[in-house]
Amino acid sequence: MVNRPSMKVKFFFCILLFTSLCPVFVHSQQDKGLSVFESVLLQETKNFNTHPDFKKAVQFLVEEEWDSTLVYSARQLTVNTNNSELNNYCHFFRGFSFRRKGILKEATAELTKISKDFSFYNNVKIMLGSIAFERSEFQKALQYYKIIDSIKAKNLKGLKRPNIEENIGSCYLHLKQYDIADEYFQRSISLHETNKDTLELIGTYGNIAASYYEQYLDDKAIPYFQKAYMLSQKIDDYTLKLEAASNMAIVEKNRNNFQQAFQYKDEVIKYKDILNDRDRSWEIGKLEKEIAVNKKQEEVNALAAENKLKIAERNGLIYLTTILVLILGAVGYFYKEKVKTNKIITAQKESLDALNAMKDKLFSVVSHDLRSSVYALKTSNTELAENLEAKNLDALDTLLNTNSAIVNGAYNLLDNLLHWALLQTEQSYFEMETMHLFFIVEQTAYNYKPLMLDKKIQFENKVSKDVKVVADQESLKIILRNLLDNAIKFSNPEGVITIYTENGAENYCNLIVEDTGLGMSEATQQELMKDSLSVVKKENKHIIGTGLGMQLCKSMIQKNQGIFSIESELGKGTKMIVSLRKTDVDGSN
């Protein structure tokens, strides 16, 4: 029995704390009671949410972070001094927090700072009462509780009247006024019963029983314990069941009913197991949840990785596509270029082919001409030898003349060929200078004098000695040679060839080589004026020619910045007109 009081005290104290705190201030109780006070509090403080510190203080209070609540409420107090309601709240929070931390003196100090118009003033009173109770100042506590109890209003902002009654009862019990205490306990019980609040009822029974038991009023205590235990059998709350059973176990043990005490103990163990199981199952649930979360997380990770992979793949595809497009573009471009180049090359090839064909034709005609010339010379030489043997001197002379004519023709052809080649390759020396046309004509005609004499052609150079033209000397000579050659070739014996000048277009001098020979048709003229080397079909088949001479003439005239034209009539004669630039200064014509 020695250990009984100490055990009891320990036991009761725990119960008392439990009852005096929790039913009144609903924290750490079930959600139902908790929300009443909290929701009221949150609603009431809504207006002050504009103050960040205050808002945080409320938040931490709800979360039971007492130190943080103290810090933020203190901060709010330093900021705000005018709004008494706000200050009241802050003091209230501080008092509340201090009390929960067990610093009762500070809590009392903070709570007494609150003015009476505070909307939670009742709660303040209750709290002060509870603090007083805890400090064993039962009279003081009773005072506070009584004030609240006297308030008839139904809504006590989270306070439950039966709990207050119960607390008053506890006070009286400690003051050893058992009758009054009993009365209050009964009122509390009856209120609970009318509210049909079985859970609260069990708590109240427990508390009452504990109160009595502490005062060693075992006879009064035990029925309450039993009542609590009986009620607890009807509900599913294992915590309460456990409490009730363990209380019974202690009681029976103290009554030395060990058998029953063991039974209760067993029950207690059973409930403990159940609670543990529940905890465990809750833990397992938590674990499962965690696993599930992990699984989900993994899935999410997998998805993210997959996504990453997909993005990478997509980017790769994009790059690949871009590169492909670029390559395609480049290929297309080069293909286009190639097609263009091919076109140019084809065109060039065609023109080259045409030129080549022309050259081949020219080649064949030239070689044919030369071959005929050489062949004629060969036959002539044989004849010459025969005549020499026969000492037929007259025939010799004629033959020699023929030979020289043939050689002359061949030479002219070769000369033209050479100059043509030089002209094509731009190899020849070319310099335009002022020159006296008369002398050039004289010098050129000099070579043809014997030929013309032979054909009895009358030649006249009517060019004035004063006429000067700008031209390249050698090419002008070639032009003149060809024109004269043609004139002689197409002249009848005893014809007339005249060379003279006329004023042409502005700053131009027309050099005209006129003959009274065969002339030519319009078609032939046009053919001659064509810009291509046409190997001409001659109207006079016995007078052969390549047309090379004429082409050379035209090219040379062009190079000398001159103009070439033909006036001709079949049977009457031809005028070959070469327009050359006069000297700009002293062009005395």
Binding site for other proteins (CB under 8 A): 422, 426-429, 436, 438-439, 442-443, 446-447, 465-466, 474, 477
Q: CA-CA-CA-CA torsion for 201, 204, 206, 208, nearest 10 degrees? A: -140
- Residue 364, strand partner residues: none
Report the alpha-carbon distance of residue 348 to residue 427 in Å, rounded: 23
CB closer to other proteins, 179 vs 426: 426
Contact 562, 487 (CB under 8 A): no
C-alpha dihedral sign at 341, 347, 348, 352:
positive
- How many Å separate Cα 457 from the centre of its chain? 92
Closer residue to other proteins in complex, CB, 362/476: 476
CB-wise, 282 or 439, nearer to other proteins? 439
From the CB of 339, what's the least distance to other proteins, in Å? Answer: 39
Q: Give 429 or 542: the residue with its C-beta nearer to other proteins.
A: 429
Q: Who's near 435: CB < 8 A, 6+ residues apart?
A: 468, 469, 470, 471, 473, 476
Tell me the three state secondary structure of residue 154. coil
Min dist CB 340 to other proteins, Å, is 35
Distance in Å, CB of 418 to other proteins, minimum:
8
**Rounded to the nearest whole angstrom, what is the least distance from the CB of residue 447 to other proteins in the complex?**
5
Query: Which one, 403 or 464, has the nearer CB to other proteins?
Result: 464
Q: Which is nearer to other proteins, 151 or 406 (CB)?
A: 406
Tokens at 162, concatenated: 């039966």
Q: Which is nearer to other proteins, 29 or 587 (CB)?
A: 587
Maximum Cα–Cα distance across the chain: 196
Number of other CB atoms surrounding residue 577 within 10 Å: 18
Nearer to other proteins (CB atom), residue 429 or residue 537: 429
> To the nearest whole angstrom, how small is the minimum distance from the Cβ of residue 337 to other proteins?
36
With respect to other proteins, which residue has the nearer C-beta, 124 or 548? 548
Q: Which amino acid is at 117?
A: D
Query: Which of these, 78, 72, 74, lies nearest to 55 by C-alpha position?
Result: 72
Q: Could you tell me the smallest distance in angstroms from the CB atom of residue 338 to other proteins?
A: 37
Question: Residue 161: is it exposed, middle or buried by C-beta count within 10 angstroms (0-12/13-18/19+)?
Answer: middle
Residues in CB range of 95: below 8 A, 6 or more apart: 107, 108, 110, 111, 114, 124, 127
CB of 467 to other proteins, least distance (A): 11
8 Å CB contact between 55 and 47: no
**Phi, psi (degrees; rounded to nearest 5) at 534:** -100, 125
Q: Which helix (H) or strand (E) holds 511?
A: strand 508-515
Q: For the sheet containing 573-581, what is the strand order?
A: 458-461, 496-503, 508-515, 573-581, 563-569
Q: Rounded to an integer, what distance in angstroms lies between the CA atom of residue 365 and that of residue 545?
A: 8
With H, G, I as helix, E, B as strand and everything else as coil, classify residue 5: helix
Question: Is 476 exposed, middle or buried, given 0-12, 13-18 or 19+ CB atoms closer than 10 A?
Answer: buried
**The token pair that represents 377 in the structure block:** 């010379």
Q: Of the two residues 248 and 467, which places its CB atom closer to other proteins in the complex?
A: 467
User: What's the min distance (Å) between Cβ of 429 and other proteins?
Assistant: 4
| Of 48 and 448, CB closest to other proteins | 448
What does the block give as tokens for 361?
A: 């034709």
For 485-572, where are the E strands, in sequence order?
Answer: 496-503, 508-515, 563-569
> What is the nearest approach in angstroms of other proteins to the Cβ of residue 367?
23
- Residue number, 216 or 439, with CB nearest to other proteins: 439
* Closest separation in Å from C-beta 471 to other proteins: 14
Shortest Cβ 437–other proteins spacing (Å): 10
Selection from 191, 248, 257, 250 nearest residue 225 by Cα:
248
